[in-house]
């Protein structure tokens, strides 16, 4: 498992001073480009979800920029379950529930009929930083009365303490950086 984790970690590229000075951006593009490392990533996430949750209905891809979709859809496929998108306002057709993201001055939404009350979901994204976007996705799923089993990410930026903002929802990150 450490070897597999190392294969994934080796494909995360640091970019200093992006998108602004003082920020160290963790780029997953090399991970997505390497089919062996990407397969290893999905293997590790699948193993974690299967071991943790014997019954799950959906993977929810939380994203403003679709990176959660890149991880969530193959994971859902592997698990033999459906995938539900959470998107920026105006990107989903039909009736939706919306929530504001104060820090980004944006809104997230989910289709109102995406999940039924009591259905079990895991929310997936590539990164947890401040926790604002993940927290908003959790709020939307709670409104639909879904049972959120866990929030799952590839990378956690621990110094930003985003997991503390998830209001006791279980959280798992594959890689952690300060």
The catalytic residue positions are: 67, 107
| Residue 105 DSSP class | T
- Residue appearing with tokens 């480009």: 33
Long-range own/partner contacts, residues 63-69 (CB < 8 A, 24 or more apart): 63/87, 63/125, 63/133, 64/88, 64/101, 64/104, 64/106, 64/108, 64/133, 67/28, 67/125, 67/126, 67/127, 68/124, 68/125, 68/126
* Residues 147, 153, 159: CA angle, nearest 5 degrees: 115
The answer to whether 132 and 165 are in contact (CB under 8 A) is yes
Best CA proximity match to 133, nearest among 84, 66, 52: 66
The answer to whether 123 and 66 are in contact (CB under 8 A) is no
């Amino acid at each position: 498992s450490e070897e597999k984790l190392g294969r994934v970690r080796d494909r995360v590229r640091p970019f200093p001073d992006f998108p602004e000075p003082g920020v160290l951006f963790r780029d997953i593009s090399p991970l997505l480009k390497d089919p062996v490392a990407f397969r290893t990533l999905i293997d590790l996430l699948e193993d974690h979800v299967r071991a943790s949750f014997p019954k799950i209905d959906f993977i929810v891809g939380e994203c403003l920029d679709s990176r959660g979709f890149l991880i969530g859809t193959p994971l859902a496929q592997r698990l033999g379950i459906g995938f539900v998108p959470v998107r920026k306002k105006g990107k989903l057709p039909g009736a939706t529930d919306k929530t504001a993201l104060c820090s980004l001055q944006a809104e997230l939404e989910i289709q109102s009929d995406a999940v039924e009350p009591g259905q079990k979901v895991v929310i997936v994204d590539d990164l947890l930083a401040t926790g604002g976007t993940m927290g908003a996705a959790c709020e939307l799923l709670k409104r639909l009365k879904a049972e959120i089993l866990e929030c799952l990410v590839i990378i956690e930026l621990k110094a930003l303490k985003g997991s503390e903002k998830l209001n006791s929802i279980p959280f798992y990150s594959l890689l952690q950086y300060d």
